[in-house]
Structure 1
């Protein structure tokens, strides 16, 4: 019964979750045949590995007494992912870190938790999974995740995971790809896992309806540039393995997009206006995989800068005045 429920939840996430690999579209994509998905493993050195399948990239860091895993793709790929990790090491998977809440990164939570793995995330990931979410571009709704799929260990700003000979630093970047992003820094291995705050060689999806903002995306790249050097192996949320030079190119693209869109918003342009103007046409050749990806990036950057942030202070002020 558990396997059926996992498959159903994963399928719904695949259709409605804002995964980079499937840009939001007017109609749902065809169901994925997970039986044909292959898990590719890249050795990053220092007992760290990058796994690529159908969803977000996975990072695997092997310690003397266990394994730390970053992101878990879709539920139907659990067995294939587990087999790929067992081919690397016979150590047990101790921790699975969610870099954010989207289904192409968290779909495997329930199955890995059943294996005894501790699921770790920034606290907003658990909140979003428990409540269900709505895609800001399409209106598609992702239902609440089952209790067993929720992270059992959450943090707010910073955390560490320690195994024998291995430390993972977890840091929250506020309002970047979502409102619950975590990057994972394996300092001694010189490996950085970014989640979808960095997508190598392609425009990112910025989930503005769930706390994402291009300003936070730029702040994330600034943090990564401070951490890394020319030899750092950077595992992006999607796309090929990257280095610091690729990250710098990505940051330049984000800043260019932000500055151009800020001027258009200041001029009072509407969302339809800016889509028609194609303000990032010169960037599309390198960063847009399709016309839809180009339009979606315009729209998410527009919303990042044009939408008013939620008023979180007013309820607090009301409570203060009532007390006085």
Structure 2
């Protein structure tokens, strides 16, 4: 049964950088959101699981007998509203806050929820990206290094299991998908999957190619999710409404079509300007691109995924750590 209820500030640079992660080709940074007008909407997923929507990435809340596991935290300025929304479904403390990737509309809650006592968890590349600062590959907009208190306090590589009484969250790293530090979270007993921005429902995804993202990894993520899920699985996407396996299947088909069309253009030696002018995804735009800018952005990120040389430095670092 679905039940919907309505239940400091991040820096301007952080807001601009993360908004541009969703619309990377914008000429100028958009104005920061008016957080005073944001409402947190709560959807009951069953089995003490909830999806929260507000401003930024979707949140998953998993209630256990001795605490709460939370996936993503939106912006710092929404901490009080998010906490109040969670309090309407449980009085348990938030024990863990999982970051699905490093973009600010997902990790802005790290510092304030950390002050509340939550342990922030991420794949190791998320902490590295936040600590170093990042650059948007299409716009050149720079996001400065995060404050030490905003960095994840626990990191992992490969896979991790988080356990509370009556609740297990299985974390798995998908390499080079939306970024180089993506985590999906599988709540097997509840049949709920949280994907972060490796899956966005009803819109083209951003592929942060400058920070390790690649369309091939996005397809690999979708393949992994289709193996995990069944027709009854509730899928919480990074953005967009609650989804199911049928929606995810359609999303994967779109990614494969985009990859195959772009691969031919790249093989033919087309430039970025050439492929934008060719409008190779025009028939897909009606469903997946709300604006012309969104259409152009997706063309550009898919192009860079396939035309740019893969950065081998992260791979080299992993090899050196193991030697």
Task: Using structure 2 for the length normalisation, give the TM-score.
Answer: 0.94
Question: Which residue matches 1:164?
Answer: 165
Question: Which residue matches 2:61?
Answer: 60
Asked if structure 2 preserves the Cα contact closer than 8 Å seen for 1:176 and 1:213, the reply is yes
Q: Across the two proteins, how many residue pairs are aligned to each other? A: 311
Distance 2:105 2:314 in 1: 33
* Residues 3-152 of structure 1 aligned to structure 2 (within 5 Å): 6-9=8-11, 11-17=12-18, 22-152=23-153
Asked if structure 2 preserves the Cα contact closer than 8 Å seen for 1:177 and 1:206, the reply is yes
Distance 2:237 2:92 in 1: 25
Asked if structure 2 preserves the Cα contact closer than 8 Å seen for 1:71 and 1:105, the reply is yes
Asked if structure 1 preserves the Cα contact closer than 8 Å seen for 2:213 and 2:305, the reply is yes
Distance 2:281 2:110 in 1: 37
Asked if structure 2 preserves the Cα contact closer than 8 Å seen for 1:19 and 1:104, the reply is no
SS at match of 2:189: helix
Residue 224 of structure 1 deviates from its aligned partner by: 0.1
Distance 1:81 1:253 in 2: 33
Distance 1:212 1:310 in 2: 10
Distance 1:119 1:310 in 2: 28
Asked if structure 1 preserves the Cα contact closer than 8 Å seen for 2:206 and 2:301, the reply is yes
Question: Which residue matches 1:224?
Answer: 225
Question: Which residue matches 1:304?
Answer: 305
Question: Which residue matches 1:3?
Answer: none
List runs of 5+ in structure 2 lacking aligned partners: 1-7
SS at match of 1:7: coil
Question: Which residue matches 1:276?
Answer: 277
Please give the per-residue CA displacement for 1:231-252, whole angstroms capped at 9, x wherever unaligned: 0000000000000000000000
Distance 2:93 2:295 in 1: 42
1:261 aligned onto 2:258: no
Asked if structure 2 preserves the Cα contact closer than 8 Å seen for 1:203 and 1:297, the reply is yes
Please give the per-residue CA displacement for 1:90-128, whole angstroms capped at 9, x wherever unaligned: 000000000000000001110010111000000000000
Please give the per-residue CA displacement for 1:206-247, whole angstroms capped at 9, x wherever unaligned: 000000000000000000000000000000000000000000
Asked if structure 2 preserves the Cα contact closer than 8 Å seen for 1:225 and 1:248, the reply is yes
Residue 84 of structure 1 deviates from its aligned partner by: 0.3
Distance 1:313 1:192 in 2: 27
* RMSD (CA atoms): 1.5
Question: Which residue matches 1:322?
Answer: none
Task: Using structure 1 for the length normalisation, give the TM-score.
Answer: 0.93
SS at match of 1:144: coil
Asked if structure 1 preserves the Cα contact closer than 8 Å seen for 2:24 and 2:139, the reply is no
Question: Residues 69 and 55 (structure 1 numbering): CA distance in 2 closer, same or farther, change over 3 Å?
Answer: same
